[in-house]
Structure 1
């Protein structure tokens, strides 16, 4: 039985040494790249948790000599996660929202979220607006964006914001593949040792190690699936506002620009605000002041009159006779 325990310890040590060697290879590979391999946080995806040092098989996920070959992935197989944002002005945001959702479905994509609401312009008026997030096949991203911009009627004038970002996850995906292979090899070795174990303590120890390795395998598979889906489709976030919300000031057919436009807009905003204040004052403030102020006014008036009456009575009293 002692021989079996010794054999188990030797196998565990061998796997740990293999993992340490693979980590060193991974560090050398990282120093030769010009981009950061830590893409998990930027993608806001479920991360593969760092394995505790006290787990016997955690180091086996690092990779063997074969991981160095896999790390140099062919550029033709690169996995790029692309996301885009658009802010556009349209005649009817609600109708354009429906058209965008239908377009995504026709392209083989889907709608992630959508909302309709009302926005306030600089003048205080309300206008309809909408927001939608869609996902389309990565190879149709440019086509989808062109169709969305075409809904404005004049992309150069009514597209207020456009951006496309990309994240290269090729290295991260390749590292996960290497870790997965090593963990699967470790799981196979543990299965063989589990079948040969006879003592209950050995069976329990091997079983616990096998469960830990299996859990790590499932986490890595989930991460790989996320990268595959994220690189296969692209996300587009679209903000839609009504064109009427940004209509320029027109004076007798003339549209001022620059400082003149800003000054006129400020004047218009002030006049609107002043008129709104007068309306609120007459409708809201005056009735409240009448309800509260009139009783106070009459009470103060009564006190003043009473005080004057008392003073007048004192003045009318005859002077007291003097004693000689």
Structure 2
């Protein structure tokens, strides 16, 4: 009985203790950040490319937007009947298409065992790039033989865009130097800024010159032509007979002989006659006097 009463009192005491105990503190819930997202105060700083990287990026984008600049070059080697007339015709063709002559060279060459001398020529012209095919067809129109033909193209778009980006950067630096020049008060500072400004402007002019060279090279294609006379294409036959070559060699030998005889007559007329008069006349008088003496001696004896 006592044991049961003790358990009942213990149970009541536990209930009273639980009711009088302070309630646990409830903490406000903190929302968890979304998966993969960093808190605002821990977010990574925004990346800014350096000016050089920006220029390279702008150059890469500009190369895609820039119209392609392709420098086309053609070279021909062909046999013609008259190299001098053909060189003149090529020059007139280039000028008629709006182009111009870069160089022209005329020289003589010796061909074959007979030593045939004929005129050869080489000429380089520039024509508008869109007329390159027309120019090549016109040049080859009356050729006896086209020995070689080569057409190449070089894409200079990337190099041109790089130069354009460099020019923009240099012009921006020039503008900044001009602002510094306006605010500078010390003579030393003014001279330093002026020297830097001269250097930057020199680089700008150099870049502009390179850009202009690329533009002109892409706008006007180069054509180099080697003109070989038709006589150089004749085969050399060691065991055969070529009447035309023999006749020509005989005519040349006759002309050389007549030239030699004419030269001898000229030398004889100019040098021989005076020598004959100066030397032969006294000698003739001496011989005549000697004959007279012998004749008198024979008559007296």
In structure 2, C-alpha distance between the alignment counterparts of 1:215 and 1:128, rounded to whole Å: 47
In structure 2, C-alpha distance between the alignment counterparts of 1:163 and 1:241, rounded to whole Å: 17
- Residues 1:140 and 2:131 are matched in the alignment: yes
* TM-superposed deviation, 1:264: 4.7
- Residues 1:129 and 2:116 are matched in the alignment: no
TM value normalised by structure 2: 0.60
* 2:226 corresponding residue in structure 1: 239
- Residues 1:184 and 2:171 are matched in the alignment: yes
Superposed CA deviations along residues 78-124 of structure 1, whole A, max 9, x for unmatched, are 11111111011111111111111110011110111112222122433
Contact 2:72 2:129 in 1 (8 A): yes
* 1:308 corresponding residue in structure 2: none
* 1:88 corresponding residue in structure 2: 78
* 1:68 corresponding residue in structure 2: 57
Contact 1:96 1:151 in 2 (8 A): no
TM value normalised by structure 1: 0.56
SS of aligned partner of 2:235:
coil
User: Structure 1's 205 and 75: CA in aligned 2 closer, same or farther, altered over 3 A?
Assistant: closer
- How many residue pairs match? The answer is 199
Superposed CA deviations along residues 208-257 of structure 1, whole A, max 9, x for unmatched, are 111111111111111111111111101111111111221236xxxxxxxx
Give the 4+ runs in structure 1 shifted more than 3 A. 18-21
* 1:292 corresponding residue in structure 2: none
* 1:38 corresponding residue in structure 2: none
In structure 2, C-alpha distance between the alignment counterparts of 1:86 and 1:218, rounded to whole Å: 36
* TM-superposed deviation, 1:76: 6.8
SS of aligned partner of 1:133:
strand
In structure 1, C-alpha distance between the alignment counterparts of 2:172 and 2:60, rounded to whole Å: 19
* 1:196 corresponding residue in structure 2: 183
Contact 1:82 1:166 in 2 (8 A): yes
In structure 1, C-alpha distance between the alignment counterparts of 2:57 and 2:90, rounded to whole Å: 44
In structure 1, C-alpha distance between the alignment counterparts of 2:86 and 2:65, rounded to whole Å: 38
* 1:102 corresponding residue in structure 2: 92
Which of the two has higher C-alpha Rg? 2
Correspondent of 1:149 among 136, 140, 159: 140
In structure 2, C-alpha distance between the alignment counterparts of 1:101 and 1:191, rounded to whole Å: 49
Root mean square deviation of aligned Cα: 3.0
* 2:109 corresponding residue in structure 1: 119
User: Structure 1's 81 and 264: CA in aligned 2 closer, same or farther, altered over 3 A?
Assistant: farther
User: Structure 1's 83 and 75: CA in aligned 2 closer, same or farther, altered over 3 A?
Assistant: farther
Superposed CA deviations along residues 109-168 of structure 1, whole A, max 9, x for unmatched, are 01111122221224332222111111100111111011111121x5xxx00111112221
Mapping 1:151-170, distance limit 5 Å: 151-152=142-143, 158-170=145-157
